[in-house]
A and B are shown apart, each in its own frame.
Chain A
Amino acid sequence: EIVLTQSPGTLSLSPGERATLSCRASQSVSSNYLAWYQQKPGPPPRLLIYGASSRATGIPDRFSGSGSGTDFTLTISRLEPEDFAVYYCQQYGRSPRTFGQGTKLEIK
Chain B
Amino acid sequence: QVQLVQSGAEVKKPGASVKVSCKASGYTFSSYAVHWVRQAPGQRPEWMGWNNAGNGNTKYSQEFQGRVTMAGDASASTAYMELSSLRSEDMAVYYCAISTASTLGAFDIWGQGTMVTVSS
Q: In the complex the two chains form, is A102's CB within 8 Å of B44's CB?
A: yes
Give B24-57 interface residues, CB cut-off 8 Å to A: 35, 44-47
Given A44-B110, A44-B111, A99 and B104 contact (CB-CB distance below 8 Å):
no
A63 within 8 A of B: no
Task: Select B107's contact among A43, A45, A101, beta carbons within 8 Å.
Answer: A45
Q: Using Cβ atoms and an 8 Å threshold, which residues of chain A touch B63?
A: 96
Q: In the complex the two chains form, is B47's CB within 8 Å of A99's CB?
A: yes
A79 within 8 A of B: no
In this complex, how many residues of chain B approach chain A with their Cβ under 8 Å: the count is 23
In the complex, how many angstroms separate the beta carbon of B119 from the nearest chain A beta carbon? Answer: 22
Main secondary structure of the interface of A (DSSP, over half): loop
Q: Using Cβ atoms and an 8 Å threshold, which residues of chain A touch B105?
A: 33, 50, 92-93
Main secondary structure of the interface of B (DSSP, over half): loop
Give A35-60 interface residues, CB cut-off 8 Å to B: 35, 37, 43-45, 47, 50-51, 56-57
Q: How many angstroms from the CA of A37 to the CA of B97 in the assembled complex?
A: 13
Q: In the complex the two chains form, is A90's CB within 8 Å of B106's CB?
A: yes
Given A47-B103, A56-B103, A57-B102, A98 and B47 contact (CB-CB distance below 8 Å):
yes
What 1/0 flags go to A67-108 for Cβ under 8 Å of B?
000000000000000000000101011011111111000000
Q: How many angstroms from the CA of A86 to the CA of B35 in the assembled complex?
A: 22
Q: How many angstroms from the CA of A57 to the CA of B95 in the assembled complex?
A: 21
Q: How many angstroms from the CA of A45 to the CA of B113 in the assembled complex?
A: 10
Q: How many angstroms from the CA of A35 to the CA of B110 in the assembled complex?
A: 15
Interfacial residues, chain B to chain A (CB-CB below 8 A): 35, 44-47, 59, 61-63, 95, 97, 99, 102-108, 110-113
